[in-house]
Amino acid sequence: MKDLASKVVIVTGASGGLGTAVVHAFLEAGSAVTAVTRRSPEPDRVDGPPGTSEDRLMGLSADVEDEAGAERMVRDTVARWGRADVLVSLVGGYQGGTRVVAMDRSVWERMLSLNLTSTFLSAKHAFRQMEAQGGGAIVTVGTRAAVQVRPGEAAYAASKAGVLTLTQVLAAEGKDRGIRVNAVLPSVIDTPTNRRSLPKADFARWVKPEQLAQVILFLASDVSAEINGAWVPVYGLA
């Protein structure tokens, strides 16, 4: 995946457990990275691995559930590096445990905004830039829960299923424009937040962020040039 050394990458949700791993992986591959967080970036959360050149990492605060935030994210990236070759859309969240008949509408709308709208707006503006420059790659994040549904996860599963459908529509719209769009479908990711939420789980069976990051790098690189519109399961041992 040596081609990644010449690419400019935008990573949303960059301060999360997976986001940090993805930012580090791209920096280690030689990419220039815009690390997007919702709040003002904390230096210790967007720093690259030891030895990373500061001129290859830009921390950026932007709310990608908002049209203006998503547009500015791409505009500032292009202003810094002249292009945007890869978008990794990681913003998202989970809320479950409530049956449909008992679910408050606010939960439904929150999951749609956090998971689906954030992906839609980020992809919309990144796609425009990629189209203008002649190509690019977008990687989205679905979930196994979108294809193997469980009770109590209607809002979460529906929002992530929407991400998967959006991924395939974008892939169809981008195939003649040099833009590839694929999704990863992880099971539970081994992050501190998930460990706190499920303290009795067998963490060894969960997907490690660093391993999932390598799958994302593969989908962003020219090595996967023939892959478009795919949903790639990354379930670990779970």
Q: Which comes out higher in pLDDT, residue 53 or 6?
A: 6
- Reported as a single tens digit per residue, the pLDDT across 55-66 is 899 999 999 999
pLDDT in tens, 82-108: 999 999 999 999 998 899 999 999 999
* Per-residue pLDDT tens over the stretch 195-225: 888 888 888 888 899 999 999 999 999 999 9
Q: What is the domain count for the chain?
A: 1
pTM of the entire structure? 0.92
CA-nearest of 93, 87, 92 to 73 is 87
Q: Please confirm, yes or no, whether 156 is among the known catalytic residues.
A: yes
CATH number at residue 169: 3.40.50.720
The distance from CA 227 to its chain's CA centroid, rounded to whole angstroms, is: 17
The answer, yes or no, to whether residue 42 has pLDDT greater than 60, is no
Q: Give the per-residue pLDDT at 44.
A: 44
What is the residue range of 220's domain? 2-234
Residue tagged active-site, from 120, 127, 156, 206: 156
pLDDT band, very low/low/confident/very high, at 45 (cuts 50, 70, 90): low
- Sort strands 32-37 and 57-61 into parallel, antiparallel or unpaired: parallel
pLDDT at residue number 187: 87
Q: Which run of H or E residues covers position 36?
A: strand 32-37
| Distance separating alpha carbons of residues 116 and 165, to the nearest angstrom | 10
